[in-house]
A and B are shown apart, each in its own frame.
Chain A
Amino acid sequence: MAGFREYKIGARIFGLALGGSMTITLFFPSINIASTSSTDVALAKQLAVGHETGFNLDDPLLQGKNKPYVVYLKNDPKTNQPLAQAMTVYVYPAGAPFPAGIIHPRILGEGIEQMSVEQGHITDARKDAGAVFALDKGVYQGKQISFINDLTASKGWAPADVMRVAKDEDVSHAGKGKTMFVREGCWWCHTLLPEQTQDWQVFGAPPMQGDFNGESPTAFGSDRKAPDLLHVGSRNSSKEWLMMHFFNPRLVQPHSIMPRFDYLWGEKDASGNKIDYVKWRAEYTEYTEGKRVTPPDVPSYASDSEIRSLVDFMLSLK
């Protein structure tokens, strides 16, 4: 073959070039990223949110099914007697898939993995029976670390018992809320990544490398048209404000360009009455036209509504 049509050589160089590029951009960084231990943030976040909040077979239509609850537990689920100290537990009802750290403990990082398996018995957790997890502190090779404890295995606490003794106001639907965050596309405008070199004073400290272990999707967002939300729960923890803001952002911030998420209230309000959206919108229009002095009241949401979970998720972003 003539010199300038050396396609066999060309094909080999092509393979070398693409392979080299993939080695440097995929293989090398994966060594660094895989060796990162989970921080406490990552442990709490993955337990609160569960396995996967994008499309998955346990929740194919992103309705927030098969998600864990975060419970601020005050009573012993077996005896219903008050606990010596209230604690935060992560309740996985039967059938809810466990987060990556429970299924693959090696992503937790050195020490956390050993403690969670040996003392926390996380490998004993069964999806079909459900499980209750909590974060515990322990000492591994002289260092103080956090690890995951499977309370169903160690204390015999069943998910259903925990839910029975917990009051609704102590339960957070943050896991389902993150599903709403993904489904409703909140992350197209609100980033979850305060920038490394900028905007810390307003939006809080940027995350550390180990803050994401077990989380999927991370939904950092790339096009910030609205405030960063990674630490929104520490800036604003008012449920009433969030409720009004989601129903119609212009109620609390006249210049906001956020869409209304009133449809997340569903059919009925907290007391089981049908929500009359047409009436509400008509009254709101009158208000904007100056025919009413005050805007109509925002209906309070039902405890199993989608908006409740989204508000819970916002409040969980500390």
Chain B
Amino acid sequence: MSWNFEKPLVTLCDAATNEEDKKLWEKEDLGGITEDNNRMPMPVVLLVVLTVLTAFAVTFPLWGQRPTAELYAGFVKAMDTPEVKAIQNDDEAMKKIVQMNKGGGIMGGRSADDMIDRHPLSMNDLRIIKPQIETLMSSGVDLGEYTVVGDRVVLANFEGNLKADGTHERKQPWWDKGYTIDIFYLSYFFIMVILLIKRLPPSTWQPRHNNH
């Protein structure tokens, strides 16, 4: 076990060990199979880097979100406004409500407008969930933690980050200790593999097998 840090990107072994390795490498015949010492191809390295970046990006909870009570809180408020009350036709009234709630910006990391489009509601649906959402609003809880399931508004079952009171946030997290462990784990992997690979003789040297 000798280390040589003069040219860490070329080899981490000293010259004597490398010479020994080279001799062994050329001499050895493993059941008729030999190995070359080609460098890690650049496309492979780039693909691995791309994979790591993509891995984090696609894991963030961007898609497939259910409508939350937060999404319809604005709807419930709009129901009681005079301009909506004045409309007799339910469909017209709902159009008006949607129009009043558009331009809501970002909600839970997503565009609220997209969420409204994705989860349309009829006036009757809204009438059923209205009292439930109003109860929640008056109790001062985070409406983003409640999901609309059919005609019921229930606490979502996500076991997200810990809150100060010891309970879990009922939301999919943007960052949690899982990602932190990932970063630690990835660094540990890449450091180990780079160390192992750099203990080999430099990749400029290729073994000459038998008559190869």
The answer on direct contact between A and B (beta carbons under 8 Å) is yes
Residues of A within 8 A of B (CB): 2-6, 9-10, 13, 17, 20, 24, 28, 32, 196-198, 200-201, 204-209
Note all chain A residues with C-beta closer than 8 A to B157: 196, 205-209
Once the chains bind, are A4 and B21 in contact (CB under 8 Å)? Answer: yes
Asked whether B24 is an interface residue with its Cβ less than 8 Å from the other chain, the reply is yes
Note all chain A residues with C-beta closer than 8 A to B201: 3-4
Instruction: Offer 9 A-B interface pairs, CB within 8 angstroms, sorted by A.
Output: A2-B21, A3-B201, A6-B1, A9-B1, A13-B196, A24-B185, A200-B147, A204-B149, A209-B159
- The verdict on A13 contacting B192 (CB below 8 Å), with A201-B150, A205-B152 known, is yes
Q: Which of B12-20, B38-46, B51-59, B89-97 contacts A (4 or more CB under 8 A)?
A: B12-20
Note all chain B residues with C-beta closer than 8 A to A201: 149-150
Note all chain B residues with C-beta closer than 8 A to A208: 155, 157
Give the residue among B24, B157, B189 with the most A Cβ atoms within 10 A.
Answer: B157
Once the chains bind, are B181 and A24 in contact (CB under 8 Å)? Answer: yes
Choose among B25, B158, B185, B200 the residue that contacts A20 (Cβ–Cβ < 8 A). Answer: B185
Asked whether B127 is an interface residue with its Cβ less than 8 Å from the other chain, the reply is no
Identify 9 new A-B residue pairs, CB closer than 8 A, beyond the known A10-B196, A204-B150: A2-B24, A5-B21, A9-B1, A13-B192, A197-B65, A197-B66, A200-B147, A204-B149, A205-B149
Once the chains bind, are A5 and B24 in contact (CB under 8 Å)? Answer: yes
Once the chains bind, are A197 and B64 in contact (CB under 8 Å)? Answer: yes
Q: Which chain B residues (150-192) contact chain A, with CB distance < 8 Å?
A: 150, 152, 154-155, 157-159, 181, 185, 188-189, 192
Once the chains bind, are A3 and B192 in contact (CB under 8 Å)? Answer: no
Q: How far is the CA of A226 from the CA of B200 in the complex (A)?
A: 55
Once the chains bind, are A20 and B188 in contact (CB under 8 Å)? Answer: yes
Give the residue among A4, A10, A17, A207 with the most B Cβ atoms within 10 A.
Answer: A4
Asked whether B130 is an interface residue with its Cβ less than 8 Å from the other chain, the reply is no
Name B63's closest neighbour in chain A (CB-CB).
Answer: A197
Note all chain B residues with C-beta closer than 8 A to A20: 185, 188
Once the chains bind, are B149 and A4 in contact (CB under 8 Å)? Answer: no
Q: Which chain B residues (104-154) contact chain A, with CB distance < 8 Å?
A: 147, 149-150, 152, 154
- The verdict on A3 contacting B17 (CB below 8 Å), with A201-B149, A205-B149, A205-B154 known, is yes
Note all chain A residues with C-beta closer than 8 A to B181: 24, 28
In the assembled complex, the CB of B78 is this many whole angstroms from the nearest CB of chain A, namely: 23
Note all chain B residues with C-beta closer than 8 A to A206: 157
Choose among B18, B158, B189 the residue that contacts A3 (Cβ–Cβ < 8 A). Answer: B18
